[in-house]
Chain A
Amino acid sequence: MTRNGKIQSTSRRQLLRQTGLGFAALGLDVLLAEQAAPRGATAVENPIAPKQPHFAPKAKNVIFLFMHGGPSHLDTFDPKPRLKADAGKPMPIKKEVSFTPLDKLGGLMPSPFEFKQYGQCGTPVSSLFPNLGACVDDLCVVRSMVGDAVDHGGAMLQLHTGAFNFTRPSLGSWVLYGLGSENQNLPGFITIKPTLWHGGGKNWSSAFLPSAYQGTPIGYAPMKVDDVREKPIEHLTNENLTSDQQRYELDMLQKINRRHAVDKAHDPELEARMQSLELAFRMQMEAPEALSTNDESKATEKLYGIDDPATSDFGWQCLMARRLVERGVRFVQCTHSGHEEKWDHHRQVARRHHASAKEIDKPIAGLIQDLKARGLLDDTLVMWGGEFGRTPYAESDGRDHNPYGYTMWLSGGGVKGGMIHGATDEFGYHAVENRMHLHDLHATILHLLGFDHERLTYRFDGRDFRLTDVHGTVVSDILA
C-alpha cells in the first residue's frame, strides 16, 4: 500500500520532528506498516494527522474572536452621520423581517460614540475601541456582511456552520477535517468559553463528520477564567494517580491488548484503540503545559490586560489563543459572552456597549500586536465579529438585530490590512456595495487556508456536503 510505503520511506526521526510527537502517535502506523495490509483493507488512519490542502495556503491557523449577541456596527466601525441628522425620524426604507415586533420599534438613533480616523489608512473607529483603533493598519474591515437569520440561534448557526435550519459541521470542523492538526498532543479545534445556548454545542460540532473533528471546549461562557484554569479540558489530569503508576498500568494494559490483538488478527480497530490510549497518555503529559500561562512574562500579561480585572478574562482567552496557535492548533475560537450575551443590546446600547467594549479592546489589540511581534500574524487569520449587526432605528434605548448589513473584520493570514471592504446604505441598514454573504466569508476563509470551497466535501447519506452548500464566492478584493 502506498500508505505503508510512505511510512517506511519517512525516517522515524523526521516524522517526530515534523509532527512534534513521540512514539505514541507513531504506534499504529508502525504496526500497520509491519503487517502487510491486504488489498481492500480499510486502513485506520489518524483522522487529525496533518494533510495537504488543494493549493499553497496563505493562512495555517485561524483565531475567531466571536462577539456573542451582535455588536452594533453603527457604534463601532461603520459611522453614519445621517443618523444624527435624522435622529428620531422613521427610517424611510422598508423594514425587513425584524426580531422584535415592528410596533415596538422606534425612529433612527444616532450613535452616542464619536468616531476618529486611525493609522495610515485612516479607517474610522469609534471611541469604544481606542486600543484596537491603533491596529487598523492591520485590519480589513468588511462593512458589507450579510446573513439570513434574524434570531441569535439561527444566525450563530449560519455563521458557524453555514446553515441556520439544518445541522451541519462547523467551520472549525471543516478546517480540521481538511488540514488535520500539527500538534497531536492537543485537540486540533479548540473553543474557549463558548456559550451553551443559541445553537450551543452545534456551533462547534462536527455533525456528520467523524467526531474527531469536533471542537473541544475549554470552559463555558459564564465561567470565570479562574475556574477554568484549573481544569481546562475534562479528564486531562488525574488527581489520584502519579504518572509512574499510570505508565505502569498502561504498559500492562497494552501488553494484554497486544496479546488480544494478535489473537484477533486483522482488526485495525483494535490497533486504533490501543493507539488512542497511548495518545491520551502523551496528551496528559504535554497538554497542561500548553494550557497554563505561568511561563508568560509580566509584560505579556500586561499587553493582554490580564493585570486589570476588567480585561483579565478575555485577555486570558486571547493569550491562550496565541499559545495554542503557536503550538499548531488549527482553529481556536474565543467567545466573548457571559451569563447573558455581551453584545445583545436591545436596551441601553450606549451603557452596555461601553461596558462590553472595555473588556475586549485591550486584549484584542494585545493579541494582534503579540502575533505580529512573534511573526505569527502572517499565517494566522484573525477574525472578529458577532452573529449580526444592529439596526439604525431604536428599540427602546437600544437597537434590534440586523443581519442585512453589518461589520466584521479580518486580520493577518493573507488578508490585506488597512482597508475597508464594502459599504452599507446611508442608514447602515442594508449592505449595498460589495455585499459579502456569510457563504462568501466561508469560501474566502477556506481559500486562505488553501482550499477550493467547492471541492472540500464529505459524503453523507448519499450526498456530497460542503461548508458553503451551493453558494459562496471567494472575495478576492481583500486578499493580500
Chain B
Amino acid sequence: MATPQRFSLPLVAILAVAPAISAATPEQEEFFEKQVRPILVNKCSACHGEQLQTAGLDLTTAEGFYKGGDSGPAFARDAPHTSRLLAAVRYEGLVKMPPTAKLPESEIEALTSWISQGAPWPGAKAETVVQDRDSGPQWTAKQTGHWAFQPIRPERPPRVKDEGWTQTPVDYFILARLEEQELAPAPRADRLTLLRRAKYDLHGLAPTEAEIEEFLADQAPGAFRRLVDRLLESPRYGEKWGRHWLDVARYADSTGLDDDIKVPYTWRYRDYVINAFNRDTPFDQFIVEQLAGDLLPPEGGDGVNKKGVIATGFLAVGTKPLVQQDKIKMKYDVIDEQIDTTAKVFMGLTLGCARCHDHKFDPISAEDYYSMASIFASVKNFASLDPAMTVSKVHLEPLVPEETYRRYKDHQDAVKNTKQRIASILDLEMYRHVIEHRAPKLARHMVAARQVYDDGADLEAVAAREGLDGEVLKLWVDYLKPGEDLRLYLQQWDEAAKDDRAAVAEQYQQRFRARGLEWIERLVEWRTQVEGWDGAGEFPEKPDLAPGSDRFFSEVTLTSAAMDEGAAGGDGPFSIPKESLDEILPAALRERVEGLRGELERLEKAEPPEPAMAYAVKEVESVEQHLFVRGSHNNPGKLVSQRFPVILAGEEQQPIAAGSGRLALSRWLSSPDHPLTSRVVVNRLWQWHFGQGLVRTPNNFGIMGEPPTHPELLDYLANRFAEDGWSMKAMHRLIMLSATYQMQSHISEEAWTEDSANRMWSRFNRRRLTVEEMRDSLLAIDGSLDLSMGGALTESLDSYGFEEAYVHPDETRRRTVYLPIYRNKMPPLLTLFDFADPSASIAVRPNTSVAPQGLYFMNSDFVQGRARALASRLLQLDGIDDSTRIEKAYWTALTRKPESGEVEEMLDYIAAYPVRENSADGRLERWQSFCRLLLGSNEYNYVN
C-alpha cells in the first residue's frame, strides 16, 4: 500500500483571469432591457435570483451571470455559441431550462442574439471577470492533522504505582490515568455480579441455576477465566454479539423507505454474521467477505462461493427506494447508502456528507466521494433499472451453478406460458359467447331490470314474461340500481325518461357489441401469436383490455376485481363464471384445454426444487463515473478514477487495475496499516463491553466526533487486535479478564463528583437490559425459550413479494435476534425499548425511560404471562415452604439470595395482597403479583 502522504495536497486555487467585459452600447442596452432582461426575470429568477441560487447560479445580476454556477460559467466568452445557458434553453443537453417548459422560439432567439454579441450587461463593472471555478479544496492543518488520520502508534503499557491492581495490559492504561487524576478505581465486583455481568454480556441471558452452581463450586484460581471460556464456546455468544454487528450493519428484512417491500433470504446474511462470531472468523476476513466475498475463490466443489456471496448481504440489506421513478437517482441513492454505511461502519467516517459538496468538516472532497462511488457503481443491486418497472426489484443471487439456475428459470417460464396458453383460449371463447348469445339481449335485460328496481315489478314475473333467466336478471338489477356511487357512464341510462328507455338501452347494446367485436379481434390476434410462438424471444403478451375506455363493457363482462387485470370470468351480469367456462367451449377446444391442463399438471409435478438464493450483490462491468455537481446525476462534472480518499491513502495511489475495486477496497480497509479500521473495530468492541466507547461517537472519528478518552489504549488495542490475528475472542479475554472490566458499577461519592460521565473508567457502567435481553430472559425464566438457531421464522421470508411476513414477538418463543424486521412496521415492543432503527447504521442505541414502557410492564400480556409462568413453576415445587420458594425466585430472577428481611417482607406482601373476591385461584394470583414485582424491578432490568 502506498504510504499516506499528508500535507502535500496541491490545493492552490486557480483563478483564471479572463478579459474584462466591454461596456454595452446604447442599442445593446435597449435590446437587453426590452428583450433579454424580461426573460431572465420572468422565466429564470424564481430559481436563479437573489433569494435562491439554484446550482449556485444568479441570473439577475451581471456579477452572478458572468460568474456562472456550480457546473461552470453560463456564458463562454471565447465561443459564445457554446455557452451553457444557450444549450440549456435549447434543451440540448442534460440540463434543460426552464424545467417546466421550453421557452418560445422568439425568446431563445433573443437570448442567442444577445449572447453572440458578447452578452453585454448594462452597467456591469468593467472589472467583472468570468471566473474559472475549477479550484480544488483547501484543508487546514487542523483538518489534515486530526488524530484519527495519523498512523496507529506502537503503544506500550505505561508505568503505574499500584502494580498489584493490574491483571491485563489494559489495566495499565486505565490505572495510570486514574493515578494521575488521583481517582481510586472501584473495588472488584463480587462473584455473582461478575457471573451475571459476563453472562448477559456474552449471551444476553441471565445465568441459569446450573450455571450459578457450577461457577460457585469452582473455587480454584482462574474460575472467571474458565467461565469466560465456557461462555465463548456457546453458540449463544454469536447470537448476542452478532446482533451488535447487525445494529451497525442496519440489518432488516424489508427495503424500507417508500414501499418497504419484503426481501427474502436476508436471514442468510444474519445467520452468516452469527456464525462468523461463533467461529471467531478473523475480523479482517470478515471485512473482506462482507464487501467482496463474491469475488473470493469458491470453497465448495460446485464453483459457487456460497458463504462469500451471502456475506455481501452487508451491502445489500440497506434501505432501497424501489418506487422512486427516476431510476438513475434510485441507483445512486443506493450507492450513497452503501458508501455512507461502509465508511461509517469500518472507518468511522461520514463520507456520505461529501455527495453534494466537499465535506464541511473533514478533509474529504467530493472527488473522494465519487472515486468511491465509481467502485460501488459497478455493483448490481437491482434486477433491472428499467424505468417501465414502476416498482423496481432487488437483485437476488442464486447460490447454485448458473446452469442449475437457468434450468429452474426455464421451467418457471414453461409453467407460466402454459397458463397463458389456456387463458388465450378461454378469454377469447368467453367473449365470443357473450357477444353472440348474450349481447343481443342486453337492451331487454336493461329495460326489464329497470321495471324491477324502478317500477317495483316482481323480478320473477318480469323474467318469465320477457323469457329471461331470473338469476341473470337479478344480476342486472343489482348492477343497474343507482346507489351512492357516481357512475357517469350510466348517467344517460339513469336519466332516460320511461318512454325513452328502450331506445337508450338499444344504444347501450350497440356500443357494447361494437366494443366487444373490437376486443375479440385483439384476442384473436393474441391467440394466433400464441399458437405461432416458436419458443424464441418473449412469449406473446396478453392485450390490455383498458377497462377505463369503456367501463360499462368491462363491468358487464367482468368482476370489478378482475377488471383491470383483464382476466376472464367473474360476476358481472353478463360474465361467465370461471367454473362454467368449459361448458361454452366447442368440443375440439375443450379437448385442447384439457390437454394443456394435463401438461400444466405434469410440469408442476416435475418442478425442480427452488434453488437457494441470497440477498446479495453481484459484480457487473465497471462504469465511467463522473463527479456529480451538487450531487445531481443530471449535472455530471469531471470524470473520476477509482481510488480511496486522499487523506487516508495519499496522492500517489496505484490505480485499481481490474474490476470494480471492491476487493481492493476491502483489502485496503482490512490492512493493519489502515489508520482507522482497527481503531474503529476495537472501539466498538470496548463499547459493547462497557456501554460506551473510548471514542464516544463510534460512527464518527472525524473532526465533529469526540476524541478518545485514552488514545494510547485505543492504539494499543488496535495493534494488539491485528497481532492476535483479528480475533474477537482473544480481545474479549483481554478485556474481560482485566481488573477494569471487573470493577463494581457502584458510583462512589468521589467518582460522581469528579467524573460523573465515567470518562476515566473508574467503575463499570451499569446498564439497562436491551430489549432482546429483556424478552429472551423473560422467556427463559421457566425454560420456555426456544433455542433453535437460524433460518427463516416464516416461510414467506423465502419468497419475494408483498405478502406479510410480520411475526408478532408474542407469537414465537425463538430468540429476539431471529424475529423478522420490517423497517416500516417494527414490532412496537422493539421500538418501545430502544431497539436500533434498522434504516441506518446505529452505533449507539438510544436510552429512554418513558411511560409506555411502564405500561408494558404493568399491562402487557407478555409480562403478565411470564410472571404467571414463574409463579406456577414455584408453586409446583413440592416439599418446600414459601420462604424457600421466595429464595428460589430470587436466584432465578436476580442471581442472588434474598437479604435479611426480604423473605419476610415478601411473605407479608403475598399474604396481604388484595385478591379479588371471585378469584378462581387466589394463591396463584398472589404469587403472580410477587413475580411481577421481581421481573418489573429495576434490579432485574439492570446489569451491574
A residues within 8 Å of B by Cβ? 38-42, 44, 47, 93-94, 96-101, 112, 149-154, 156-157, 164-165, 167, 184, 187, 196-202, 205, 207-208, 210-212, 214, 216, 234-238, 240, 242, 244-246, 248-250, 252-253, 256-257, 260-261, 264-267, 269-270, 272-284, 310, 347-348, 350-351, 354-355, 358, 394-398, 404, 425, 430, 432, 435, 461-463, 473
In the complex, the answer to whether A237 meets B859 with C-beta atoms within 8 Å is yes
* Selected contact of A252 from candidates B51, B864, B933, CB within 8 Å: B933
In the complex, the answer to whether B100 meets A93 with C-beta atoms within 8 Å is yes
- Is the C-beta of B104 less than 8 angstroms from some C-beta in chain A? no
Cβ distance A320 to chain B, nearest Cβ, rounded Å: 19
In the complex, the answer to whether B850 meets A281 with C-beta atoms within 8 Å is no
In the complex, the answer to whether B324 meets A165 with C-beta atoms within 8 Å is yes
In the complex, the answer to whether B848 meets A212 with C-beta atoms within 8 Å is yes
A448 to B704, CA, bound (A): 32
In the complex, the answer to whether B852 meets A196 with C-beta atoms within 8 Å is no
Chain A neighbourhood of B852, CB < 8 A = 187, 216, 235, 280
In the complex, the answer to whether A38 meets B756 with C-beta atoms within 8 Å is yes
Cβ distance B810 to chain A, nearest Cβ, rounded Å: 12
Cβ distance B391 to chain A, nearest Cβ, rounded Å: 8
Cβ distance A461 to chain B, nearest Cβ, rounded Å: 5
In the assembled complex, 16 residue pairs joining A and B whose CB atoms fall closer than 8 Å, in A order, are: A38-B753, A38-B756, A39-B756, A99-B390, A165-B333, A199-B258, A236-B859, A248-B913, A248-B914, A257-B939, A260-B938, A267-B766, A277-B857, A280-B854, A358-B484, A462-B361
- Is the C-beta of B319 less than 8 angstroms from some C-beta in chain A? yes
Chain A neighbourhood of B938, CB < 8 A = 257, 260-261, 270, 273-274
- Is the C-beta of B746 less than 8 angstroms from some C-beta in chain A? yes
Residue in chain A with minimal CB distance to B46: A435
Cβ distance A438 to chain B, nearest Cβ, rounded Å: 15
Q: Give 10 new A-B contacts, CB below 8 A, not counting A38-B753, A279-B851.
A: A99-B325, A154-B323, A165-B257, A202-B839, A211-B850, A280-B855, A351-B488, A432-B100, A461-B697, A463-B350
A329 to B19, CA, bound (A): 64
In the complex, the answer to whether A234 meets B324 with C-beta atoms within 8 Å is no
Chain A neighbourhood of B768, CB < 8 A = 269, 273
In the complex, the answer to whether B858 meets A154 with C-beta atoms within 8 Å is no
Residue in chain B with minimal CB distance to A431: B100
In the complex, the answer to whether A205 meets B837 with C-beta atoms within 8 Å is yes
In the complex, the answer to whether A207 meets B837 with C-beta atoms within 8 Å is yes
A354 to B491, CA, bound (A): 14
- Is the C-beta of B853 less than 8 angstroms from some C-beta in chain A? yes
In the complex, the answer to whether B858 meets A266 with C-beta atoms within 8 Å is no
- Is the C-beta of B823 less than 8 angstroms from some C-beta in chain A? yes
Cβ distance B889 to chain A, nearest Cβ, rounded Å: 13
In the complex, the answer to whether B939 meets A245 with C-beta atoms within 8 Å is no
Among B259, B749, B768, find the residue whose CB has the most chain A CB atoms closer than 10 A: B259
Residues A211 and B831 in contact in the complex (CB < 8 Å), given A202-B256, A236-B855, A280-B855: yes
In the complex, the answer to whether B837 meets A44 with C-beta atoms within 8 Å is no
Cβ distance B258 to chain A, nearest Cβ, rounded Å: 2
Chain A neighbourhood of B823, CB < 8 A = 201-202
Number of A-B contacts (CB under 8 A): 276
A97 to B353, CA, bound (A): 27
Cβ distance A210 to chain B, nearest Cβ, rounded Å: 5
Cβ distance B913 to chain A, nearest Cβ, rounded Å: 7
- Is the C-beta of B31 less than 8 angstroms from some C-beta in chain A? no
Chain A neighbourhood of B365, CB < 8 A = none
Residue in chain B with minimal CB distance to A433: B46
Residues A242 and B916 in contact in the complex (CB < 8 Å), given A157-B257, A280-B855: yes
A260 to B705, CA, bound (A): 35
In the complex, the answer to whether A211 meets B548 with C-beta atoms within 8 Å is no
7 smallest beta-carbon distances between A and B, as pairs: A153-B258, A396-B548, A280-B854, A200-B824, A462-B704, A354-B486, A151-B323
B294-324 interface with A by 8 A CB criterion? 319, 321, 323-324
B residues within 8 Å of A by Cβ? 46, 51, 99-102, 256-260, 319, 321, 323-326, 329, 333, 344, 350, 353, 361, 387-388, 390, 484-488, 546-549, 551, 564, 697, 699-700, 702, 704-705, 745-747, 749, 752-753, 755-757, 766, 768, 822-826, 828, 831-832, 834, 837, 839-840, 843, 846-860, 864, 909, 912-914, 916, 929, 932-933, 936-939, 941-942, 944
A220 to B704, CA, bound (A): 40
In the complex, the answer to whether B757 meets A40 with C-beta atoms within 8 Å is yes
A120 to B860, CA, bound (A): 54
A203 to B755, CA, bound (A): 40
A197 to B128, CA, bound (A): 55
Residues A351 and B824 in contact in the complex (CB < 8 Å), given A208-B840, A212-B848, A430-B100: no
Chain B neighbourhood of A282, CB < 8 A = 851
Cβ distance B705 to chain A, nearest Cβ, rounded Å: 5
Cβ distance B128 to chain A, nearest Cβ, rounded Å: 28
Chain B neighbourhood of A276, CB < 8 A = 849-851, 853-854
Cβ distance A317 to chain B, nearest Cβ, rounded Å: 20
Chain B neighbourhood of A156, CB < 8 A = 258
In the complex, the answer to whether A212 meets B850 with C-beta atoms within 8 Å is yes
Secondary structure type dominating chain B contacts = loop
A96 to B101, CA, bound (A): 10
Cβ distance A214 to chain B, nearest Cβ, rounded Å: 7
Residues A252 and B909 in contact in the complex (CB < 8 Å), given A236-B859, A273-B941, A462-B702: yes
Residues A277 and B854 in contact in the complex (CB < 8 Å), given A211-B834, A355-B486: yes
In the complex, the answer to whether A210 meets B849 with C-beta atoms within 8 Å is no
Residue in chain B with minimal CB distance to A240: B864
In the complex, the answer to whether B853 meets A280 with C-beta atoms within 8 Å is yes
Among A112, A265, A462, find the residue whose CB has the most chain B CB atoms closer than 10 A: A462
Cβ distance B346 to chain A, nearest Cβ, rounded Å: 15
A222 to B565, CA, bound (A): 24
Chain A neighbourhood of B766, CB < 8 A = 264, 267, 269
Residue in chain A with minimal CB distance to B386: A101
Chain B neighbourhood of A39, CB < 8 A = 753, 756
In the complex, the answer to whether A396 meets B257 with C-beta atoms within 8 Å is no
Among A154, A210, A261, find the residue whose CB has the most chain B CB atoms closer than 10 A: A154
A351 to B390, CA, bound (A): 25
In the complex, the answer to whether A41 meets B752 with C-beta atoms within 8 Å is yes
In the complex, the answer to whether A38 meets B752 with C-beta atoms within 8 Å is yes
A220 to B415, CA, bound (A): 39
Residue in chain A with minimal CB distance to B257: A153
In the complex, the answer to whether A235 meets B855 with C-beta atoms within 8 Å is yes
Cβ distance B429 to chain A, nearest Cβ, rounded Å: 26
Chain A neighbourhood of B487, CB < 8 A = 351
A394 to B46, CA, bound (A): 30
* Selected contact of B101 from candidates A93, A112, A275, CB within 8 Å: A93
Cβ distance A357 to chain B, nearest Cβ, rounded Å: 10
Residues A214 and B859 in contact in the complex (CB < 8 Å), given A253-B933, A461-B700: no
Chain B neighbourhood of A354, CB < 8 A = 485-486
In the complex, the answer to whether B259 meets A235 with C-beta atoms within 8 Å is no
Cβ distance A66 to chain B, nearest Cβ, rounded Å: 16
Residue in chain A with minimal CB distance to B706: A462
In the complex, the answer to whether B864 meets A249 with C-beta atoms within 8 Å is no
Chain B neighbourhood of A249, CB < 8 A = 913, 929, 932-933
A42 to B363, CA, bound (A): 32
Chain B neighbourhood of A150, CB < 8 A = 325
Residue in chain B with minimal CB distance to A238: B859
Chain A neighbourhood of B944, CB < 8 A = 264
Residues A273 and B929 in contact in the complex (CB < 8 Å), given A244-B914, A347-B564, A430-B100: no
A174 to B636, CA, bound (A): 35
A158 to B789, CA, bound (A): 39
A143 to B387, CA, bound (A): 30
Residues A234 and B828 in contact in the complex (CB < 8 Å), given A154-B321, A199-B257, A264-B944: yes
Residue in chain A with minimal CB distance to B388: A101
Cβ distance A404 to chain B, nearest Cβ, rounded Å: 8
In the complex, the answer to whether B699 meets A275 with C-beta atoms within 8 Å is no
Cβ distance B602 to chain A, nearest Cβ, rounded Å: 37
* Selected contact of A47 from candidates B324, B747, B850, CB within 8 Å: B850
In the complex, the answer to whether A167 meets B747 with C-beta atoms within 8 Å is no
In the complex, the answer to whether B321 meets A245 with C-beta atoms within 8 Å is no
